[in-house]
């Protein structure tokens, strides 16, 4: 007997409908809205997850019922609120834990939270909006403890649930013996998708547009840094990538010598290994990261400001848009927009700037360089004009030898960034376009003449006695090989 528990009543409803259909009986009086039955199936899964009891008979009936496609498969737009957790185990010898989580929808799309330092009861209240999700999708959440100084983080626990609407209280299961490692709260809002092309473009990230700022680990060993931006990289989770690019990706350029050294031949293994170690160190999730959400033009401009207030000669420009050229990629694995100044110090001795950002991915959505400029052009601009009284443009291109992106996709790139950054006019130009060269050089000339930037800052360079990220990566990579470490690494929440 199934019983009169909430699980029993929900399961009984499905079993009755399944039995009626199986024997050709009229099931209309049992359920005239099969979307409702889909919700019931989701409720069963959640109750089972909480109860942790064997309900094999009912579960088998539900599974067979779903496989028979008696329930209509449809698509929904989700808003998931990750509220927080409590009762997490103490993970650190000194202190408590520095938890963060990685959420995945059917292993198709991932979300990485901020790190909450020194707490066993983190409160996140972070949102994740995703369009065109199958109503049968599974949501898996893993909680990890950030272990600063190590390339791997400690595993706390995980849970999986359906995308059925409602508030949920879920138990984190440990790595062995199904140990209770705490409780996680989230809330899911779901509405039917209105996209006629939902079937062909599923799991579209729809905001909020979050970003994280990362620092090269070598920056902590330096003093008297004129510009910390030369040791920084940014990762922005942009929305709607597949709406503009579909499944189109840009593979590595087989005709480019530097790319061949990374992706082709026996010697490439060592080259890739060092670049990937550098990528993990550069994009490591730490309590030092900066985090934020882009809600409008002001937030975009803030990312491009000259840096923190300091006693140096550039302090007066800390809250001005910096005339600088950036190297970027749009990643395939998480559709993130990753960039840093082209003259960033950590690029020294790496075979490819774009490969360092992409973690040596064989393909990216797109890549190149970009720079901001006032509508009148840097050559006609004066610092007498406050930034908020000027109209700003983002000039972006396909200048990437490693991936050599198709110039025919430039209009799609322009549309994507305009969609994400309204109020910031985007201009996409081919790397051979003379207008691009003129604009880029005007940007650099203004930085040299008016912002105290040196020629050395325009290209990657290491100062006397400075340890490069490449050297540090080689050392860490060697230690990992000696230890025989093969466990998955989480960089900014993405398995590598």
Write the pLDDT tens digit of every residue in 146-162: 887 676 788 999 999 99
415 found inside a domain? yes
Asked whether the beta carbons of 277 and 477 are under 8 A apart, the reply is yes
Nearby residues of 470 by Cβ (< 8 Å), 6 or more positions away: 274, 278, 348, 349, 350
Of 284, 279, 254, 462, the closest CA to residue 353 belongs to 279
Tokens describing residue 76 = 């929904």
Are 63 and 84 in the same domain? no
Tell me how far the alpha carbon of residue 314 is from its chain's centroid.
32
Q: Which domain holds residue 79?
A: 75-202
Are 80 and 171 in the same domain? yes
Does residue 472 carry a pLDDT above 90?
A: no
- pLDDT at residue number 152: 78
Please tell me whether residue 17 adopts helix, strand or coil conformation.
helix
The residue-averaged pLDDT of 192-203 equals 93
Are 333 and 438 in the same domain? yes
492 found inside a domain? no
Least confident of 67-81, 183-197, 440-454: 67-81
Tokens describing residue 272 = 């890739």
Look up the pTM and report it. 0.79
Are 308 and 379 in the same domain? yes
Are 192 and 79 in the same domain? yes
Are 236 and 143 in the same domain? no
182, 202, 222 - which closes a domain: 202
Confidence of residue 280 (pLDDT cuts 50, 70, 90): confident
Nearby residues of 329 by Cβ (< 8 Å), 6 or more positions away: 337, 338, 339, 354, 357, 358, 364, 365, 366, 367, 400, 403
496 found inside a domain? no
Domain count, the chain: 3
The residue-averaged pLDDT of 225-240 equals 80
CATH number at residue 184: 2.60.40.150
Taking phi over 0 as left and psi of -120 to 50 as alpha, with beta for the rest, 380 belongs to alpha
Confidence of residue 65 (pLDDT cuts 50, 70, 90): low
162, 185, 202 - which closes a domain: 202
Are 220 and 176 in the same domain? no
Alpha carbon distance 217, 47 (integer Å): 45
Least confident of 57-71, 227-241, 380-394: 57-71
Nearby residues of 137 by Cβ (< 8 Å), 6 or more positions away: 105, 106, 162, 163
């Amino acid at each position: 007997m199934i019983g009169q528990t909430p699980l029993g009543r929900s399961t009984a409803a499905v079993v009755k409908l399944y039995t009626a259909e199986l024997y050709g009986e009229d099931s209309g009086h049992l359920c005239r809205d099969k979307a409702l039955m889909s919700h019931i199936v989701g409720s069963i899964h959640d109750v089972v997850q909480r109860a942790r009891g064997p309900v094999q008979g009912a579960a088998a009936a539900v599974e067979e019922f779903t496989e028979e496609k008696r329930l209509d498969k449809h698509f929904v737009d989700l808003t998931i609120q990750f509220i927080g957790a409590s009762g997490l185990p103490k993970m650190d010898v000194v202190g408590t834990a520095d938890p963060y989580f990685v959420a995945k929808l059917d292993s198709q799309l991932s979300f990485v939270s901020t790190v909450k330092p020194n707490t066993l009861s983190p409160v996140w209240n972070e949102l994740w909006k995703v369009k065109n999700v199958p109503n049968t999708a599974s949501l898996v959440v893993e909680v990890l403890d950030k272990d600063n100084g190590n390339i791997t983080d400690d595993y706390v626990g995980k849970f999986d649930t359906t995308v059925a609407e409602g508030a949920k209280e879920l138990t984190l299961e440990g790595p062995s013996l199904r140990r209770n490692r705490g409780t996680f709260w989230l809330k899911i809002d779901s509405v039917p998708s209105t996209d006629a092309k939902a079937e062909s473009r599923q799991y579209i990230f729809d905001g909020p547009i979050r970003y994280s700022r990362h620092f090269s680990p070598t920056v902590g060993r330096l003093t008297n840094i004129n510009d910390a931006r030369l040791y920084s990289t940014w990762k922005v989770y942009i929305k709607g990538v597949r709406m503009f690019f579909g499944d189109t990706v840009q593979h590595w350029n087989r005709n480019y010598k530097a790319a061949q050294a990374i992706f082709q031949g026996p010697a490439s293994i060592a080259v890739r290994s060092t670049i990937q170690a550098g990528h993990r160190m550069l994009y490591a999730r730490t309590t030092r990261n900066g985090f934020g959400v882009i809600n409008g033009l002001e937030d975009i401009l803030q990312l491009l400001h000259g840096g923190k207030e300091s006693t140096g000669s550039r302090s007066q420009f800390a809250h001005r848009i910096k005339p600088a050229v950036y190297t970027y990629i749009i990643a395939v694995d998480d559709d993130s927009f990753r960039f840093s100044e082209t003259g960033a110090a950590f690029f020294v001795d790496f075979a490819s700037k774009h490969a360092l950002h992409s973690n040596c991915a064989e393909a990216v959505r797109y890549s190149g360089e970009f720079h901001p400029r006032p509508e009148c052009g840097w050559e006609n601009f004066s610092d007498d004009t406050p930034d908020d009284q000027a109209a700003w443009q983002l000039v972006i291109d396909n200048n990437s030898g490693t991936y050599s992106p198709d110039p025919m996709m430039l209009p799609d790139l322009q549309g994507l960034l305009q969609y994400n950054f309204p109020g910031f006019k985007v201009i996409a130009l081919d790397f051979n376009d003379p207008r691009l060269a003129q604009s880029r050089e005007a940007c650099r000339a203004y930085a040299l003449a008016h912002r105290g930037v040196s020629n050395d800052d325009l290209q990657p360079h290491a100062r006397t006695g400075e340890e490069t990220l490449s050297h540090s990566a080689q050392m860490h990579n060697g230690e990992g090989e000696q230890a025989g470490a093969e466990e998955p690494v989480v960089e900014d929440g993405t398995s590598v």
